[in-house]
Structure 1
Amino acid sequence: MTILVTGATGNVGRQVVEHLVKRGADVRALVRDPSKAKFPQDVRVVQGDFLDIDSLRNAMSGVSTLFLLNAVVSDEFTQALIALNIARSAGIERIVYLSVIHADLYVNVPHFAGKFGVERMIEQMDFKATILRPAYFIQNDLMVKDVITGYGVYTMPIGAKGLAMIDVRDIAEIAALALLRREQAAEPLALDRINLVGPETLTGADIAAIWSEVLARPISYDGDNTDGFEQNLKQFVPAWMAYDMRLMGERFLTDGMLPEVGDVERLTALLGRPLRPYRNFASETAASS
């Protein structure tokens, strides 16, 4: 009984592997570059890529449960469908898929629409899956850490509707627990969806206020300019991705990213502890700067 973790060297995947190993699971990690794979000794590392069919077939051979995480790339949907088809051919029924909250609402945002398409394929192909739908990753704000600390401005386009931000560490632990639940079940469990949210819903002004307290000096919010956000991102990522992120930011401003009734309580029960608040991240980040 083996769990295959894709995206295993990323911020989420690496921690999923660590949680699984600590809980005694037999783990296989799919990586593109084994030289970057720093895992516990018992983890079997396999080299592969979502577009390298033979490598995927090799990676999925003998696997019982799959953690499907693929990055935001221009062909994300194609990569995921290839992985699902090979998983089905390999006899893998049990899947945990990392999607995104409101995938069915943010229909004009490319990577949201792509993930919603993957969700639909998981259903149509009759996989027994847990679809995890995380809200905004708190650690995304590491991208603007220097702007916050150096210029006193929080520039992410969060808006006034609020986002139920979640810590990446909580995402990884919940994903590992979902994988173990499916792996250890006597029969494949029915499909379910879980919104992954943080303990509070924060606006741009709320986050600026938290940073102001943590840094003991005024931090202002200036994130509603999505055009400026896109132009700045184009310095670091491809233009298509910067535009994708701009569209997401515009939906933040108009719709927010809000939890459903009972989401926080469900996650707290799963973890057996409170979810990590944004203030913890801000304090840790400030202390390490």
Structure 2
Amino acid sequence: MTILVTGATGTIGRRVVDQLARRGAALRVLVRDPAKARFPAGVAVAQGEMLDIAAMRAALSGVSTLFLLNAVAPDEVTQALVALNLAREAGITRIVYLSVIDGERFPDVPHFAGKLAVERMIEATGLNATILRPAYFMNNDAGIKDVVAGHGVYPMPIGARGLAMVEAGDIAEVAALELLRREQAPGPLPSTRINLVGPETLTGADVAAIWSAVLGHPVAYPGEDLAGFEQTLRQAMPGWMAFDMRLMAARFASEGMLPQPGDRERLTTLLGRPLRSYRDFAAGLVAAA
């Protein structure tokens, strides 16, 4: 019985691997370059990528449970559908898929719409899966700490409706628990969805106030300059991705990203502890500097 983790070197995937390894799971990870991979002892490494059919078939051989995480990419949907069809071909009936919350409410945002299409494929083909639907990752803000601290501005245009921001460690732990639940069950379990949210719903002004308290000096929220946001992102990512992120931010401003009734209670019960707060996340970044 082996769990295959894709996206294993990223923010979430690496944490999922660590969580599973600590719990003694038999693990295999799919990576493009094994020489750059650093995993706990005992983790088997399969080289390849999702559109390399031969490599995926080899990676899935002997696997009982699949964690499917694929990054935002122009061919994200194709990657996911190929991986799921190959898993079905291999007889794998235990799957956890990392999607995104509010796919139905963000139909014009490419990576949201793509993940929703993958969810629909899972449903239509009768695959047994847990679909994890995380809200905005707190950890997205790790890269802007110096801007916040140095310029006294929280630059992410997240709006005034509020986002139920969730910490990456909480996402990974829920994923690991669901993978083990499916792995250890005597047979395939029914499909389910879990919204992954944090303990608070935060606006741009709320987050700026948290940074002000953590840093001990004022931090402002300047509002939603979406054109400027896209232009800044183009310095660090392809233009199509920067535009995708701009469309997402526009939906943050108009719709927010809100939890459903019972989401937080369900997660707290599942984890057996409180959800991690944005204040603790920000304080941890400052302490580590």
Shorter-chain TM-score: what band?
over 0.9
Match of 2:225 in 1: 225
The answer to whether the aligner puts 1:247 opposite 2:264 as a matched pair is no
The offset of 1:56, in angstroms, is: 0.2
Contact 1:9 1:36 in 2 (8 A): no
Match of 2:184 in 1: 184
C-alpha distance in 1 between matches for 2:111 and 2:146 = 27
Q: What SS does the aligned partner of 2:122 have?
A: helix
The offset of 1:147, in angstroms, is: 1.2
C-alpha distance in 1 between matches for 2:215 and 2:147 = 13
Q: What SS does the aligned partner of 2:18 have?
A: helix
Contact 1:2 1:65 in 2 (8 A): yes
Match of 1:82 in 2: 82
The offset of 1:23, in angstroms, is: 1.0
The offset of 1:3, in angstroms, is: 0.4
Match of 1:46 in 2: 46
Corresponding letter in the other structure for 2:172: A
C-alpha distance in 2 between matches for 1:146 and 1:26 = 39
The offset of 1:238, in angstroms, is: 0.3
Match of 1:13 in 2: 13
Pairing of 1:122-133 with structure 2 (within 5 A): 122-133=122-133
C-alpha distance in 1 between matches for 2:223 and 2:33 = 36
Match of 1:266 in 2: 266
The answer to whether the aligner puts 1:279 opposite 2:274 as a matched pair is no
C-alpha distance in 1 between matches for 2:84 and 2:9 = 20
Corresponding letter in the other structure for 1:102: D
Match of 2:138 in 1: 138
| RMSD of equivalent CA atoms | 0.7
The offset of 1:212, in angstroms, is: 0.3
C-alpha distance in 2 between matches for 1:178 and 1:85 = 21
Match of 2:194 in 1: 194
Match of 1:207 in 2: 207
C-alpha distance in 2 between matches for 1:190 and 1:222 = 46
The offset of 1:231, in angstroms, is: 0.6
Worse overlay, 175-184 or 143-152: 143-152
1:179-231 per-residue CA deviation (whole Å, 9 max, x = no partner) reads 00000111111010000000000000000000000011000002411111001
C-alpha distance in 2 between matches for 1:77 and 1:256 = 24
1:56-103 per-residue CA deviation (whole Å, 9 max, x = no partner) reads 000001111000000001110010011011111111111000000001
Identity in percent: 66
The offset of 1:143, in angstroms, is: 2.5
The offset of 1:165, in angstroms, is: 0.2
Structure 1, unmatched stretches of 5+, are none
C-alpha distance in 2 between matches for 1:188 and 1:176 = 17
Structure 2, unmatched stretches of 5+, are none
C-alpha distance in 2 between matches for 1:175 and 1:19 = 9
C-alpha distance in 2 between matches for 1:8 and 1:69 = 8
Q: What SS does the aligned partner of 2:229 have?
A: helix
Contact 1:154 1:223 in 2 (8 A): no
C-alpha distance in 2 between matches for 1:101 and 1:64 = 27
C-alpha distance in 2 between matches for 1:42 and 1:247 = 42
C-alpha distance in 2 between matches for 1:129 and 1:228 = 39
C-alpha distance in 2 between matches for 1:105 and 1:6 = 27
The answer to whether the aligner puts 1:106 opposite 2:106 as a matched pair is yes
1:24-50 per-residue CA deviation (whole Å, 9 max, x = no partner) reads 111111111101211111110110101
1:103-144 per-residue CA deviation (whole Å, 9 max, x = no partner) reads 111000000000000000011111100000000000101122
Moved over 4 A (4+): none
Q: What SS does the aligned partner of 1:221 have?
A: coil
C-alpha distance in 1 between matches for 2:140 and 2:172 = 15
Corresponding letter in the other structure for 2:245: M
Match of 1:173 in 2: 173
C-alpha distance in 2 between matches for 1:258 and 1:86 = 34
C-alpha distance in 2 between matches for 1:73 and 1:163 = 24
C-alpha distance in 2 between matches for 1:109 and 1:163 = 16
The offset of 1:283, in angstroms, is: 0.4
